[in-house]
């Protein structure tokens, strides 16, 4: 309200709502209405001016010179009476309740009537409902109704959850053209290009008699130069359809005879690829923190690191990134929504409860809420969009709790207790289960105990034990198996032994050993290869072990190890994730 001596200008904040309430009452009592809207077997009283002001459809009907201008009854087709009632209520009140059961019908009808606010509300609702089981259907629905923001959101969701989407029925029912469009995307978040080939083949083999004719179109987006020929040949040999097998062999003959060169190793390192991986393929390894000690240094010469180094697994290059806010080693690490969370650890005998979060897009670290207790030598993994922290040292004893960070609540809470007290163990999530392997017991002895944990049911399960007891192991998952690499035990010192655990068979086997014994190394899998990074090795009975900058790589197809480009900084008890 503004005033001068001779003028008062007043604006009511409630006038619009009062006016709508009044118009709504007039409609309910059938007063002053001038049109009946007939939808199916039902009819609705309304006011032309209100309809024309709210809806592009009715504006064109009543002001565009159509025959309905002079009629007191108008038939509305293409909308059910129940849905029309909801939209008429919105026109007179500005309120609507969108549900899972009515959303698509309401969106189609509101699009027809030109109620853009309702269309936007329905699109917002559907964005919130996106899931691997429905995102393809929502994408196709949005495309057919030209809902651009919903189409982009659902397509982005498919890219981000591509491997989960390929397990759903909607994926199998895609048309060939839509499938090719998805497979061509630079934004598919995948572990390796082989997954794109296998996803394409899954679609073809679902109805091979009808779809094998599309094999060349569907496989055209696959970047064969960065896929192992051995893996491709293995898939071709498993193919049960003779015509499809012949087509695949022809494709491979063309591939091998072209200027493209297959994935291979030369002079102890990966050969550069002639084609680049997809922009969003997991290819960058982030190695974070740890401690470093020079060769010949004393035990007290170790220094905690805040440095972060990134290795591009395709270009075989290391770069240095923004440092942690707090130097730390023996910490945990996890990835949620494309951000890296570094949790706990220690520096100069001070155990941390704090957590830092790194956004690769902004290259910045931020602090988030701390754990309920300080922990080092802990195990950390992400599962179902939450972070779990297991055991570790919490001061003068080993922690017996499991706590969870929920990003929506933005806090840590204790959710369970561990089955076995341990620290310096390997912890990893694989297909919804958490695996805890080895570690140091409360008695100070190395363990070979292996357990799985279901975060949903909070149930622990005892699994087959490792063949060798060890702590400070590097643990990674690759192709349905866990790899326990190196580690430390009292008898062998820094170990070069590597064991592979088959999840399906619940059994451990030994594979070729590392070239260098490593304790406190870290491991990860990317593009079908296993990388083992840093650690410390045994220097002698009395000298302090030096930390390593070397990186070894294992190819399960050739069953051997080879060195790749070393880190700029030697480090032990660091962490690594792949984005």
Terminal Cα distance for the chain, rounded: 56
pLDDT at 229 over 80: no
For the stretch 81-101, what's the b/e string if a residue is b when 16 or more beta carbons lie within 10 angstroms of its beta carbon? bebbebbbbbbbeeebebeee
Question: Phi/psi of residue 10, each to 5°?
Answer: -125, 135
pLDDT tens digits, one per residue of 5-33: 678 776 767 666 767 776 767 677 677 77
Check: CB of residue 133 under 8 Å from CB of residue 95.
no
- Residue in the structure block whose two tokens are 């430390």: 488
**Burial class (CB within 10 angstroms; exposed 0-12, middle 13-18, buried 19+) of 64:** exposed
pTM exceeding 0.75: no
Greatest Cα-to-Cα distance within the chain, rounded to the nearest angstrom: 103
Q: Where are the domains of the chain?
A: 2-129, 177-270, 284-578
In a 10 Å sphere around its CB, with 0-12 CB exposed, 13-18 middle and 19+ buried, how is residue 528 labelled? Answer: buried
d(CA 529, CA 312): 13
**Alpha-carbon distance 525 to 555, whole Å?**
10
**pLDDT attached to residue 226:** 77
Distance CA 425, CA 522 (A): 11
- Spell out where 337-490 has E strands: 339-343, 346-347, 350-351, 355-359, 364-368, 379-383, 386-390, 401-406, 411-417, 426-430, 433-437, 450-454, 459-462, 474-478, 481-485, 488-489
CATH superfamily membership of 284-578: Kelch-type beta propeller (2.120.10.80)
pLDDT at 263: 39
pLDDT at 541: 61
Q: By percentage, how much of the chain surpasses pLDDT 90?
A: 58
Residues 6+ apart with CB under 8 A from 65: none
- 439 in helix, strand or coil? coil
Q: Is the confidence at residue 283, as pLDDT, over 70? A: yes
pLDDT at 224: 80
* C-alpha closest to that of 398 among 427, 372, 378: 378
pLDDT top residue among 145 and 483? 483
pLDDT value for 262: 39
The count of C-alpha atoms lying within 13 angstroms of the C-alpha of 369, restricted to the half-sphere facing its C-beta, is 14
Query: According to the model, what pLDDT value does residue 65 have?
Result: 64
Neighbours of 32 (CB within 10 A): 10
What is the distance between the alpha carbons of residues 345 and 394, in angstroms, rounded to a whole number?
10
- Cα separation, 221 vs 206, in Å, equals 19
Across 106-131, average pLDDT = 92
Report CA Rg, the chain.
Answer: 31
3-state class (DSSP) for residue 277: coil
Q: How far is CA 382 from CA 40, 393, 422, in A?
A: 52, 20, 19
For residue 122, the model assigns a pLDDT of 94
> Which single residue is written with the structure tokens 């005879």?
257
Least reliable range by pLDDT among 288-302, 341-355, 404-418, 478-492? 288-302
Q: Is the pLDDT of residue 398 over 70?
A: yes
Residue 42 pLDDT greater than 60, yes or no: yes
* Per-residue pLDDT at 107 exceeds 80: yes
For residue 52, what pLDDT is reported? 81
| Residues constituting the chain | 579
Q: How far apart are CA 108 and CA 90, in angstroms?
A: 15
User: In terms of DSSP H, where are the helices of 409-451?
Assistant: none
Cβ neighbours for 424, distance < 8 A, ≥ 6 positions apart: 330, 377, 439, 440, 471, 472
- Tell me: the pLDDT tens digits for 68-104? 666 778 888 888 898 988 898 888 888 888 999 999 9
> What residues form DSSP beta bridges with 346?
329, 351
HEC secondary structure over 217-235:
HHHCCCCHHHCCHHHHHHH
Closest to 351 measured CA to CA, from 334, 331, 333? 331
For residue 453, pLDDT over 80 is answered with yes
pLDDT category, 63, cuts 50, 70, 90? confident
How far is the C-alpha of 28 from the C-alpha of 358, rounded, in Å? 57
What integer pLDDT is reported at residue 333 of this predicted model?
Answer: 97
Please name the residues in contact with 45: beta carbons below 8 A apart, sequence gap of 6 or more: 27, 30, 33, 35, 36, 37
- Please say whether the beta carbons of 6 and 18 come within 8 A: no
pLDDT average, residue stretch 523-532: 92
User: What are 534's two structure tokens?
Assistant: 């840093």
* Coil, strand or helix at 260: coil
Q: Mean per-residue pLDDT for 451-455?
A: 96
Comparing 356 with 251, the larger pLDDT belongs to: 356
Backbone angles phi, psi at 99, to 5 degrees: -125, 170
Read off the pLDDT of residues 306-348 as tens digits, 9 standing for 90 and up: 999 999 988 889 999 999 999 999 999 999 988 999 999 999 8
* pLDDT confidence tier of residue 539, bands split at 50, 70 and 90: confident
Distance from C-alpha of 488 to C-alpha of 484, rounded to nearest angstrom: 12
Distance CA 331, CA 370 (A): 13
Block residue for tokens 């591009």 = 312
Residue 234 has pLDDT above 70, yes or no: yes
- SS3 state at 33: coil
- Same CATH fold assignment for domains 2-129 and 177-270: no
Q: Is 511's pLDDT higher than 90?
A: yes
Residue showing tokens 């962490």? 575
Classify domain 2-129 at the CATH topology level. Answer: Potassium Channel Kv1.1; Chain A (3.30.710)
Report, as an integer, the average pLDDT of 515-542.
89
Check residues 255 and 97 and name the one with the higher pLDDT: 97
Nearest to 282 by CA among 326, 251, 312: 312
The residue with greater pLDDT, 169 or 240, is 169
Please give the CATH architecture assigned to the domain spanning 177-270: Alpha Horseshoe (1.25)
Instruction: Check whether 264 has a pLDDT greater than 50.
Output: no
Lowest mean pLDDT across 14-23, 35-44, 432-441, 561-570? 14-23
The residue ranking higher by pLDDT, 278 or 413, is 413
Mean pLDDT score, 219-231: 80
pLDDT, one tens digit per residue, over 480-509 is 899 999 999 988 899 999 999 999 999 999
Q: How confident is the model at residue 475, as a pLDDT? A: 97
Of 35-39, 93-97, 110-114, which one has max mean pLDDT?
110-114
More confident residue, 95 or 231: 95
Which among 538, 490, 480, 491 is positioned nearest to 514, based on CA atoms? Answer: 538
Asked whether 289 and 575 are in contact (CB, 8 A), the reply is: yes
Report the mean per-residue pLDDT for the chain.
88
Tell me the DSSP string of 376-414.
BS-EEEEETTEEEEE--B-SSSB--EEEEEETTTTEEEE
Give the model's pLDDT for residue 282: 80
Token output for 362: 């902004």
State the pLDDT at residue 267.
31
Torsion angle of C-alpha atoms 42, 48, 49, 50, degrees rounded to 10: 0
């Amino acid at each position: 309200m503004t005033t001068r001596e001779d003028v008062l200008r007043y604006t009511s904040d409630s006038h619009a709502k009062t006016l709508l309430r009044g118009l709504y009452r007039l409609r309910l009592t059938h007063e002053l209405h001038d049109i009946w809207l007939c939808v199916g077997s039902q009819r609705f009283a309304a006011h032309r001016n209100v309809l024309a002001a709210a809806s592009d459809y009715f504006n064109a009907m009543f002001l565009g010179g159509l025959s309905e201008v002079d009629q007191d009854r108008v038939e509305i087709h293409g909308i059910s009476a129940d849905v029309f009632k909801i939209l008429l209520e919105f026109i007179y009140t500005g309120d609507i309740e969108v549900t899972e059961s009515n959303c698509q019908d309401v969106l189609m009808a509101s699009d027809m009537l030109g109620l853009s606010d309702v269309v936007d509300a329905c699109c917002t609702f559907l964005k919130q409902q996106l899931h691997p089981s429905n995102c393809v259907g929502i994408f196709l629905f949005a495309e057919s109704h030209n809902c651009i923001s919903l189409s982009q959101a659902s397509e982005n969701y498919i890219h981000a959850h591509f491997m989960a989407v390929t397990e759903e029925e909607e994926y199998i029912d895609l048309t060939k053209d839509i499938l090719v469009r998805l497979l061509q995307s630079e934004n598919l978040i995948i572990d390796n290009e082989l997954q794109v080939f296998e996803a394409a083949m899954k679609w073809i083999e679902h109805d091979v008699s009808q779809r094998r004719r599309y094999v060349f179109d569907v496989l055209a987006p696959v970047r064969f130069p960065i896929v192992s020929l051995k893996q491709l040949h293995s898939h071709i040999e498993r193919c049960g359809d003779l015509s499809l097998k012949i087509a695949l062999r022809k494709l491979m003959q063309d591939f091998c005879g072209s200027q493209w060169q297959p994935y291979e190793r030369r002079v102890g390192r990966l050969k550069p690829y002639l084609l680049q991986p997809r922009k969003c393929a997991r290819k960058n390894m982030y190695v974070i923190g740890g401690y470093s000690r020079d060769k010949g240094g004393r035990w007290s010469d170790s220094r905690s690191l805040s440095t972060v180094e990134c290795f591009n697994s395709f270009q075989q290059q290391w770069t240095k990134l923004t440092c942690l806010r707090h130097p730390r080693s023996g910490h945990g690490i996890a990835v949620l929504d494309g951000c890296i969370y570094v949790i706990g650890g220690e520096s100069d005998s001070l155990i941390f409860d704090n957590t830092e979060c790194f956004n690769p897009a902004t290259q910045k670290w931020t602090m988030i809420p701390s754990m309920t207790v300080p922990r080092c030598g802990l195990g950390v993994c992400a599962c179902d969009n939450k972070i779990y922290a297991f055991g570790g040292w919490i001061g003068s004893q080993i922690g017996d709790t499991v706590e969870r960070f929920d990003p929506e609540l933005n806090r840590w809470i204790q959710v369970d207790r561990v089955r076995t007290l341990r620290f310096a163990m390997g912890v990893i999530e694989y297909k919804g289960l958490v695996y805890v392997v080895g570690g140091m017991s409360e008695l100070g002895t190395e363990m070979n105990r292996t357990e799985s944990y279901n975060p949903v049911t909070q149930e622990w399960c005892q699994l087959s034990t490792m063949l060798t007891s060890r702590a400070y192991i590097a643990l990674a998952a690759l192709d349905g198996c866990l790899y326990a690499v190196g580690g430390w035990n009292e008898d062998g010192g820094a170990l070069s032994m590597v064991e592979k655990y088959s999840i399906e068979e619940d059994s451990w086997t030994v594979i070729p050993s590392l070239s260098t014994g490593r304790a406190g190394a870290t491991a990860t899998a990317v593009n079908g290869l296993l990388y083992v990074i840093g650690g410390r090795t045994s220097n002698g009975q009395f000298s302090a072990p030096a930390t390593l900058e070397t990186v070894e790589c294992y190819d399960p197809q050739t069953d051997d190890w080879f060195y790749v480009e070393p880190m700029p900084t030697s480090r032990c008890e660091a962490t690594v994730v792949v984005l």
